[in-house]
């Protein structure tokens, strides 16, 4: 889908003109309306071209990974707690669901944690 810049500008101008007629916005100065127009352009662009935004985001993540800056989401579980979970996972007489319930996590997350940390 392509929306020309002229059409976007026309829509924004009509929208701002309509808003400016409302009594609440009578005292708003031209600088503020210019800023409102800029924000509206950004919103329209993001709504009209979400795939471009996603591509740019993925490209940025890839560049960060190459520089060694991006490490992914950090675990919320401390190393000490993870060690205890791993011990229960491997040597407990509890089944996996009971281990997950004991630690307040889902069974799927239990397997994920233990798989990432070379257990099982």
> How does pLDDT run across 6-59, given as a tens digit for each residue?
888 888 899 899 988 999 888 899 999 999 999 998 888 888 778 888 888 899
pTM of the model: 0.42
Residue 120 predicted with pLDDT over 50: no
pLDDT of residue 1: 54
Instruction: Judge residue 99's burial from the number of C-beta atoms within 10 Å of its C-beta, 0-12 exposed, 13-18 middle, 19 or more buried.
Output: buried
């Amino acid at each position: 889908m392509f929306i020309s810049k002229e059409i976007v500008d026309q829509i924004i101008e009509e929208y701002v003109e309509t808003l400016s007629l409302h009594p609440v916005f009578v005292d708003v100065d031209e600088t503020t309306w210019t800023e409102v127009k800029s924000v509206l352009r950004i919103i329209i662009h993001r709504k009209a071209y979400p795939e471009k935004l996603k591509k740019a985001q993925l490209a940025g993540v890839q560049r960060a990974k190459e520089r060694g800056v991006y490490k992914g989401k950090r675990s919320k579980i401390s190393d000490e707690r993870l060690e205890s979970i791993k011990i229960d996972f491997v040597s407990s007489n509890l089944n996996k669901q009971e281990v997950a319930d004991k630690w307040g996590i889902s069974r799927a997350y239990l397997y994920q944690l233990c798989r990432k940390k070379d257990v099982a």
